[in-house]
Amino acid sequence: MKLHPNLRAFGTPLTEAMVEFYAANQAHFSPDTQPHYIYSPRELSRWMRAMFEAMKPLESLDLDGLVRLWAHEALRLFHDRLVTKPERDWCQAKVREVAFKYFTGASRACLTAPILYVL
């Protein structure tokens, strides 16, 4: 959050949202369902690194942009490995639920599908 001082207040909510979403996925999906549904804390590290790399070149970022980036990376790391449509639907719903729980000031429009994040 050092890169965007206007978002420093969201450091704790960002961390808590990431951990909650990760834990929910870990609890909901297991290798018993699909052998590749293995979740390790590395996913959190990958998520953080990807967000940092995406934020680094940006001159400015607002809360909606932060939430959209958070959701984009969540879907890239978690949703993209899911096999069935009901699993992917669950993941998308969980992204919205967690996002609006921790980022109360974000607009609902920031998570309008499809969530694509490009510079």
Q: Where are the domains of the chain?
A: 9-111
Whether pTM exceeds 0.85? yes
Query: CA-to-CA distance for 5 and 98, rounded, in angstroms?
Result: 23
pLDDT at 117: 59
Pick the CATH number of 9-111 from 1.10.1750.10, 3.30.2290.10, 1.10.20.140, 1.20.920.30: 1.20.920.30
Please compute, for residue 99, the number of CA atoms within 13 A of its CA located in the half-sphere on the CB side. Answer: 26
- Specify the pLDDT at position 119: 47
Provide the pLDDT for residue 2: 79
- Return per-residue pLDDT of the chain as tens, 119 residues: 778 989 999 999 999 999 999 999 999 999 998 999 988 999 999 999 999 999 988 888 999 999 999 999 999 999 999 999 999 999 999 999 999 999 999 999 999 887 765 54
Q: In the structure encoding, which two tokens stand for residue 103, read together? A: 């980022």
